Structure 1
Amino acid sequence: MSSETQPSEPSKPPPPPSSSSTTSPPSTSASTSSNAVPRSVENDPARTGFDPQKAWWVNYFKILTGGVTDEGVFHYREWRYRVHEKRDCARCEEFRDWAFAHSPTVRFMREKVEALNGRLDKDNVVCRRCPARLTEDGQVHRSSGGFSPEHGILICANEVRNRGHMEDTLAHEMVHAWDHLRWKVDWMGDKDLKHAACTEIRAAMLSGECRWAREAWTRGNWKLTQQFHDCVRKRAAQSVLARPRCKDDVQAVKVVNQVWDSCFSDTRPFDEVYR
């Protein structure tokens, strides 16, 4: 990015204010008060059946034979991500470099960012492991990447499935970078959550993450009508909900609806939705 988005410490980028996040269905029966912020759940081998002190194949066999709870499977997955962090980051960087060299969408967005005096390259598009959180309300919170005006783009190496997924994730965050340079977005919603809602709508719409094939084969959504609109609305609301200034999912949906017509019709810097 420009001088204000140069990563001052590339090896340890902070959590980005804007992220591509997902929330999985409940995997435990724990619950908390609706007014309290759910706490993260730590692993207890006696409760979950997963014991990180044992060999991976022992735990994997227990999973196959039903000896590990859903909560334990979550902790096993995070444990294996820690073990394979170096491998995952190297693979992520390979996919990133491929996207910069060969993806028409990523190359186009890179040119448009440069036209606004910004810069995106391997120095401020970094791959790191992003730990997921399991909270007491049974929700799994994951992120595939994020954008920070001060540091650039973070790609969550442990969540990148393949080159296509990298292309979608990188395009999503590059739309945020372009929006920041063009309009100076209020990322945290300190003044108005509508800024965050608008850029999340545009990123979900333009990145390709909501195209029919991705929704159908990856997320199991086989609807033919309104699938694209529903996906963009849902993913934008999830991202707005992650903002500290957003009170609840009701407010997130309300804000997305307030800016929907103007932001969904705005395809800049593209002429139309290509992906």
Structure 2
Amino acid sequence: MTDTPTTAPANTPPPTTTNPPPLDRAFYTWSTFFSILTNTAPPAHRTAYFLAKDTLNEARDCARCEESKAFLFAYSPVIRFLKHNIDLLDGSGSAQATISTSNVFCRRCGPDGNASGGFDPETGIKLCANEFRNRGHLEDTLAHEMVHAYDHLRFKLDPYDLRHAACMEIRASTLSGECRWAREFFTRGQWGVTRQLQECVRRRAVLSVRNRPACKGEAQAEAVVDEVWGGCFGDTRPFDEIYR
């Protein structure tokens, strides 16, 4: 899922979601960890625990993210294909018209866990280094945001228009691979067999639209997704078909 784009100077890395506070180890303990596992920790303790953990491990997480990012741009078929097709959309070589390792930034994000990355037309892609389970999860997130970048350049979409936002999320969730059956089954506890892809894409699109400031609630989000579903789910550009 992508973050809503924010205004920032061109060609500057997006800032971290929160400024690192002084590390409070009072919550970063085994007792807090086990209370989180057993779902007995108060919400404030849970938030404080993950904030302390992510702050302590920020350098390690970002280094691991940078290493995976470089590997994916060099060897991942889906990332290389998306980069090639983004490059074909504009021959100017401007930072706004290309996606590469230079404008994909690994950062520590807040402990809310609502997003693992975001695309900003002015600055590029932010990857939340503290949110990734493994390289495959990072690859799905990067592919998702690169589909957003492709759509921004190819179709000139307005991310603040709910219909455009719904279409962007439908396409990105469909084409990135994050809704493939194995990802849903093993990491999200979604065990459906029939129409699993469509249900995952629809669920994620509704959630994204619902979180937009202009959306008035769940019913409107569902209506907007239904309105654009047919054309957007069937549009697999730049792929010939759903790749993953």
TM-score bucket (shorter structure): 0.7 to 0.9
2:108 maps to what in 1?
129
Shift of residue 130, structure 1, vs aligned partner:
0.9
1:100 maps to what in 2?
73
Shift of residue 229, structure 1, vs aligned partner:
0.5
Kindly provide the CA deviation profile for residues 57-112 of structure 1, in whole angstroms up to 9, marking residues without a partner as x.
xx223443679614122320121101111111111111111110111000000000
Aligned 1:1-275 pairs, distance under 5 A = 7-10=10-13, 12-13=14-15, 52-54=24-26, 56=28, 59-64=29-34, 69-71=41-43, 72-117=45-90, 118-133=97-112, 142-189=114-161, 193-275=162-244
| Distance across 1 between alignment mates of 2:40 and 2:47 | 10
Q: Kindly tell me: are residues 64 and 13 of structure 1, through their superposed partners in 2, closer, same or farther at Cα, counting changes over 3 Å?
A: closer
Contact 2:27–2:49 (CA under 8 A) maintained in structure 1: no
Kindly provide the CA deviation profile for residues 225-254 of structure 1, in whole angstroms up to 9, marking residues without a partner as x.
111110000011111122211121221111
Contact 2:50–2:111 (CA under 8 A) maintained in structure 1: no
**TM-score, length basis structure 1:** 0.76
Aligned letter for 1:206?
Answer: L
| Distance across 1 between alignment mates of 2:33 and 2:173 | 35
Q: Kindly tell me: are residues 111 and 87 of structure 1, through their superposed partners in 2, closer, same or farther at Cα, counting changes over 3 Å?
A: same
- Structure 1 residues not aligned, in runs of 5+: 16-50, 134-140
Bigger CA radius of gyration: 1
| Distance across 1 between alignment mates of 2:33 and 2:106 | 29
| Distance across 2 between alignment mates of 1:158 and 1:252 | 29
Q: Kindly tell me: are residues 246 and 55 of structure 1, through their superposed partners in 2, closer, same or farther at Cα, counting changes over 3 Å?
A: closer
2:20 maps to what in 1?
none
Q: Kindly tell me: are residues 62 and 89 of structure 1, through their superposed partners in 2, closer, same or farther at Cα, counting changes over 3 Å?
A: closer
| Distance across 2 between alignment mates of 1:61 and 1:107 | 44
Q: Kindly tell me: are residues 101 and 70 of structure 1, through their superposed partners in 2, closer, same or farther at Cα, counting changes over 3 Å?
A: farther
| Distance across 1 between alignment mates of 2:114 and 2:54 | 13
Q: Kindly tell me: are residues 62 and 232 of structure 1, through their superposed partners in 2, closer, same or farther at Cα, counting changes over 3 Å?
A: closer
Contact 2:16–2:107 (CA under 8 A) maintained in structure 1: no
Kindly provide the CA deviation profile for residues 151-177 of structure 1, in whole angstroms up to 9, marking residues without a partner as x.
111111110111101110000000000
Shift of residue 14, structure 1, vs aligned partner:
7.6
1:48 maps to what in 2?
none
Q: Kindly tell me: are residues 93 and 157 of structure 1, through their superposed partners in 2, closer, same or farther at Cα, counting changes over 3 Å?
A: same
1:23 maps to what in 2?
none
| Distance across 1 between alignment mates of 2:210 and 2:26 | 38
The answer to which structure has the higher helix fraction is: 2
Q: Kindly tell me: are residues 67 and 251 of structure 1, through their superposed partners in 2, closer, same or farther at Cα, counting changes over 3 Å?
A: closer
Q: Kindly tell me: are residues 70 and 231 of structure 1, through their superposed partners in 2, closer, same or farther at Cα, counting changes over 3 Å?
A: farther
Q: Kindly tell me: are residues 110 and 63 of structure 1, through their superposed partners in 2, closer, same or farther at Cα, counting changes over 3 Å?
A: closer
Q: Kindly tell me: are residues 119 and 6 of structure 1, through their superposed partners in 2, closer, same or farther at Cα, counting changes over 3 Å?
A: farther
Aligned letter for 2:201?
Answer: V
Q: Kindly tell me: are residues 76 and 225 of structure 1, through their superposed partners in 2, closer, same or farther at Cα, counting changes over 3 Å?
A: same
Question: What percent of counterpart residues are identical?
Answer: 50
Larger mean Cα displacement after TM superposition, 62-71 or 107-116: 62-71
